[in-house]
Amino acid sequence: MYVYNTTYSVSTERSGEWLRWVREIYIPAILATGLTGQHRMHRLLTELDNGGVTYTLQLSFLTREDFDSYISDYEDIMIEKMQQIFHGNFVYFSTLLEEL
């Protein structure tokens, strides 16, 4: 199994709206691709005050091929939608993990 972990730092002013949008729009759109069946969302509790709230979204993929398909066919589209709505109010980075 592969876990695609994306960490987002969202401005405090927009964090509630961002979280609601991710739960109601973003995650369902990702699940609709059929490439991932499981996801987990967390809020980071141990961080320095950076003027924002930090979240992680973890998407599980059964195969590397499913992950590669998600990245090549959907990732840019999904991030662009988030950018259109929350431009300048978040930054993110992603890592791919392999379950051992």
C-alpha span between 57 and 90 (Å, rounded): 14
| Mean pLDDT, residues 45-59 | 85
Q: What is the DSSP letter of 74?
A: I
pTM here? 0.90
Is the pLDDT at 49 greater than 80? The verdict is no
Taking CA atoms, 35 is separated from 7, 12, 55, 69, 99, in Å, by 20, 32, 22, 8, 17
Q: Mapping DSSP to helix (H, G, I), strand (E, B) and coil, where does residue 35 land?
A: coil
Q: Is residue 97's pLDDT more than 90?
A: yes
Which tokens sit at 9?
């730092």
What is the reported pLDDT for 74? 96
